[in-house]
Amino acid sequence: MRNNLGRIILTLLIFLHLDVLASTYKWSVESDKGLAMTNEAVYLKYVCEYNDTAGLYVIEFNPVIDNEQYSIEILSENERIKNGKKINTYEFVVLVKKPGKIEIVLDTTMKKTNKDSIQNTVLGRDNADYEEFSKKVIKQKAVIIDVKQSSTDLVGEFTLKVKKDKAEVKAYEPYHLEVSIEGKGNFKALKPITFNIEEVKVFSQKVIEDTQLTKEGYKGVWSQKFAFVGENDFKIPRLSMEYFDLKDKKLKKLIIDETEIKVTKAYKKEELLDEQKKSFVFSYGFIYYILTFIAGFLFAKIKFKKVKKTNSADASFSAKIQDTKSLEELMMILALKDSKKYENIINKIENKEMKSLKEAKNVIKLKLG
């Protein structure tokens, strides 16, 4: 009996408190700029201040929007009590897409717990006919932004860093290059970099984007790694990316300079012969040329039976295979020749299933027939 009486008294006190000290609230909104470029981030802050702790109120405010004019992302939500008064704060970042006057009006739902809900909770009654909350939709104050058209989709403040290997490698040894773009802005506008170089195999890693949302848009680092493999000297071409610099209010470029790569070839025996000496000295090179001349003369005079012609490209490829000095070099040659055809061998080398260079060469020799 005493417990029931206590509940009734508590309920009456709550009702009395609600009637005498009913919660009131006030919304405010602010923007960090009224003028922006297309693809520039705009910071919005919404604050709801109550006259008390406002324990009966819950706010629904989650305006994640993506339309033709702008997109909105949530930066943060916060609720705190200061001097006995509740304050709700919501921060958003708007990315404007089209030029012109943009008007942003967001809806907020204020949910207040009903007296019936409190009464049934306190008195322990189960009544399915009552509503727990009453709802009120509030249209927030309009935020107007004058948007100007930028000359490029990439907008922000960026710096470019390029890491390179030494510009001299051995044949089929990979040359590494890493491109990093650091700063703040709409990193989503950055597209993967591609290189097309004749007679050079380009291996590209997927783009790594390590960014986080801030008041000024996304901030962090965008990076991409490359490996270039070739048999002869080659050039990595100059590339440039335009962006609108928000700090200096002008168009700028991120430039990757041209790089010339010197490729050291594997020497053949005949290339080691000393052809530079002009003095009359006994030279095996001289004898070599004489023998070559005699062999050519005899070849022209003697009639040979017709034999199946050997594909020069296959012969060259076979010679390269025999001249390799490591499994890594062998794997690169196979990848450049036909990665699909030799996929099984490449995978076995990568997975350490095939550790012998001699064994690998024999397998390839059998495959060539």
Q: pLDDT digits over 280-312, tens only?
A: 343 444 344 344 444 444 444 444 444 444 466
Reported pTM: 0.66
Instruction: Tell me where in the chain the CATH 2.60.40 domain(s) lie.
Output: 2-148, 155-264
Which among 146, 226, 218, 158 has a CA at the least distance from the CA of 186?
A: 218
* Residue 226 in this model has a pLDDT that exceeds 80: yes
Q: Which two tokens stand for residue 217?
A: 């848009």
Query: 357-368 and 327-338 are packed helices; what angle lies between their axes, rounded to 10 degrees?
Result: 20
DSSP state, 237?
P
Q: Which two tokens stand for residue 91?
A: 């921060």
Rounded to a whole number of angstroms, the CA Rg of the chain reads 38
Rounded Cα gap, residues 302 and 307, in angstroms? 15
Is 3.40.50 the CATH classification of the domain at 2-148? no
pLDDT at position 55: 86
Sign of CA dihedral 358, 362, 363, 367: positive
Pick the CATH number of 155-264 from 2.60.40, 2.50.20, 1.10.10, 3.40.5: 2.60.40
* Residue 109 in this model has a pLDDT that exceeds 50: yes
pLDDT tens sequence across 178-201: 999 999 999 999 999 999 999 999
Name the average pLDDT for the chain.
81
* Residue 254 in this model has a pLDDT that exceeds 60: yes
pLDDT tens sequence across 7-63: 555 554 554 455 445 679 999 999 999 999 999 999 999 999 999 998 889 999 989
pLDDT at position 359: 85
Neighbours of 142 (CB within 10 A): 10
More confident residue, 231 or 13: 231
Secondary structure class of 185 (helix, strand, coil): strand
152: pLDDT confidence band, cut at 50, 70 and 90?
Answer: very high
Residues of the chain with pLDDT > 90, as a percent, come to 56
* Residue 80 in this model has a pLDDT that exceeds 90: yes
